[in-house]
Structure 1
């Protein structure tokens, strides 16, 4: 008797995407009348956050209220047009505010307050035009869950002309309807942190960007795992270069449901055993989250010489990607770590989007859009992102 164990060992990150923006001059300020763009992908419920300094202040910054600018309506329709009303002006709380303008003395007198919205008047009685009059934000939907946000410095000609500093932006993953990081850059009512002060006081985005980069990356659950023991036949789950056979792999690859394929394989000549392994409680195998171990499943199997073994499980935050044993499986009697034999494949049955930020991804409350391509290896880097090595995502061992 042997035991196969499959684990989600991914050291997950809470932000799906992030980046920086800046003007074209030296220093790279965004002067009145100038614009910058931010391009990103997002799923329903995800939002775009950013921060940029009100340059002619001691420690004020512009940012949307958390969790950021909503990019879909409640019905999943992409939002386009002017979203300037979602931009707010904030006091970082680390300096006493002087009258805003070119003569502000930097850095100024220290203060020790929590981050607070400036709604017309700051704590020192200085007045400000609405943030939406100083910074314009316009959303454009580019299709396939991708957007472009254009930020324009519209402060020229107002009572508060100011340059804007280089900034940082981010998009959080949404899992089970909840954002993993609803306050990625700041938290209203709390002290500033993670390098935001450098933006708010000096217009230096490097420290906050380093922090944001450190928490941007991959998050994905794995679906219940299909494990097959067979003899005398080729890998019965799939064959690279062929189209999905219509036996149920599509449901595993798109929805994380292996039941249809498992039932088909149980009646296939040469298949000796089929197991459908789901994690207790959630069913899916969650990754490592904030240091807490990821999920794993195990199954005792009985094999003899000549038997082969193959597995398949969905890359949960994709349209139709699945991990599977490469080629004709592995010798089911060879013990040890089998992770190096696992490959990531595209089932070719659904149009791909940014993993974890696609509005048609089934596990993000979407409906996959059909395509008809042969099964292929997912390249790395791919058109959307760079994935960790596969053994750093899924571990398969036989003992």
Structure 2
């Protein structure tokens, strides 16, 4: 990615996570053994695409006239589906929606269903001189050096084409819980533009702060073809573009302001695996990134020495690593005594109710060094899960969580939606 694109991510990824920054704490008697500094950093190597994949015909890689291919994906409000597939009987033409792709929710957040063919367009890759489309096209043909442009009725060589919507039918179906199926049917049979469609590539970009992290993942209008698109447009080979898209698909999530609790002589005061949410404020942290409710509840309780909520400067949330930009971090000086334990919790920002936290025994704050291995990822059990970063009811994607009541449990990896990096590659905890 270009540096200006990376800088753009940083600008737009300021999310509406709720937080309450405070450093109020209460001390209980104990033998002081000195001071430590705890640092929490988001070290995730973030990616701009939440999902991507390939598609092809039902019996052969080609999607022949009359045949269909399907794309199954998840999306949050404002996210869109982009795809490309070659007009096989051409030198370098391809079908795709205009950027950022096919919108799958209306302005009210209702899923869109039915015929969305009007959003499919025909494009000229600009790398080959167009011959008359048909079975007699000589591949690859004569080289050209133009930008990607839309074909409206005729190409630069005055070859004519029916509207893309007459050749490719796109139908959208909502499968529930932010999941969709797009069906692409080759309708070109018997027309002057009869053609097979090639195996294709599709992608969905993350949205943050109301803006897509990559609004043109597969091609850019009026710019040179790049990243393997030419292989699709000229030869129907989707492998190079798929490899590129896969390299920028993965995890993007901020971490909420971090709750830090020093306790002594009691069990972990935040949660217990196998029990349901205690109604003390963890739900607000896990669903909304708001640690203030739980912090207020814990302050002054028996066994609680200190409570902090650490927000990152300027952004409040801890942003992941974006290109050359390091991930955000927060630090806090703490006073510790013999027998003290340290509990930490922060929201997986692009989830329904997942949170990172120390385990049942917390962390020994007198043990210096990297304590990242002490962190786990847990499901609070208070909101129905969706694909992280692509859920219509995720609070930090302008949604309203759908309630459920399940025991707190570790999030499996891989899980029903995706495969996450190792937790130590997302959250780093160090004590000095």
Q: TM-score of the superposition, structure 1-length normalised?
A: 0.99
Task: From 264, 268, 272, give the equivalent of 1:231.
Answer: 264
Asked if residue 219 in structure 1 is aligned to residue 252 in structure 2, the reply is yes
Tell me the secondary structure at the aligned position of residue 302 of structure 1. Answer: strand
Tell me the secondary structure at the aligned position of residue 298 of structure 1. Answer: strand
Tell me the secondary structure at the aligned position of residue 7 of structure 1. Answer: strand
CA contact (8 A) 2:259 2:309 kept: yes
Task: From 101, 114, 117, give the equivalent of 1:81.
Answer: 114
Asked if residue 140 in structure 1 is aligned to residue 173 in structure 2, the reply is yes
Question: How far did 1:358 drift?
Answer: 0.1
User: Which residue of 2 is the match for residue 12 of structure 1?
Assistant: 46
User: Which residue of 2 is the match for residue 37 of structure 1?
Assistant: 70
Superposition RMSD in Å: 0.6
CA contact (8 A) 2:58 2:68 kept: no
Asked if residue 270 in structure 1 is aligned to residue 307 in structure 2, the reply is no
Task: From 287, 290, 314, give the equivalent of 1:257.
Answer: 290
Task: From 278, 281, 299, give the equivalent of 2:314.
Answer: 281
Q: What are the Cα deviations for residues 33-81 of structure 1, in whole angstroms up to 9, with x where unaligned?
A: 0001100000000000000000000000000000000000000000000
Question: What is the rounded CA distance, in whole Å, between the counterparts of 1:272 and 1:282 in structure 2?
Answer: 28
CA contact (8 A) 2:58 2:69 kept: no
Asked if residue 357 in structure 1 is aligned to residue 390 in structure 2, the reply is yes
CA contact (8 A) 2:58 2:67 kept: no
Question: What is the rounded CA distance, in whole Å, between the counterparts of 1:327 and 1:276 in structure 2?
Answer: 20
Tell me the secondary structure at the aligned position of residue 184 of structure 1. Answer: coil
4+ runs deviating over 4 angstroms: none
Question: What is the rounded CA distance, in whole Å, between the counterparts of 2:401 and 2:192 in structure 1?
Answer: 49
Q: What are the Cα deviations for residues 86-125 of structure 1, in whole angstroms up to 9, with x where unaligned?
A: 0000000000000000000000000000000001010000
User: Which residue of 2 is the match for residue 367 of structure 1?
Assistant: 400
Asked if residue 105 in structure 1 is aligned to residue 121 in structure 2, the reply is no
Q: TM-score of the superposition, structure 2-length normalised?
A: 0.92
User: Which residue of 1 is the match for residue 83 of structure 2?
Assistant: 50
Question: What is the rounded CA distance, in whole Å, between the counterparts of 1:264 and 1:25 in structure 2?
Answer: 60
User: Which residue of 1 is the match for residue 55 of structure 2?
Assistant: 21
Question: What is the rounded CA distance, in whole Å, between the counterparts of 1:237 and 1:382 in structure 2?
Answer: 24
User: Which residue of 1 is the match for residue 92 of structure 2?
Assistant: 59
Structure 2 portions without partners, runs of 5+:
1-34
For these two proteins, the number of residue pairs brought into alignment is 398
Task: From 249, 262, 273, give the equivalent of 1:240.
Answer: 273
Tell me the secondary structure at the aligned position of residue 377 of structure 2. Answer: strand
Q: What are the Cα deviations for residues 123-165 of structure 1, in whole angstroms up to 9, with x where unaligned?
A: 0001000000000000000000000000000001222000000
User: Which residue of 2 is the match for residue 206 of structure 1?
Assistant: 239
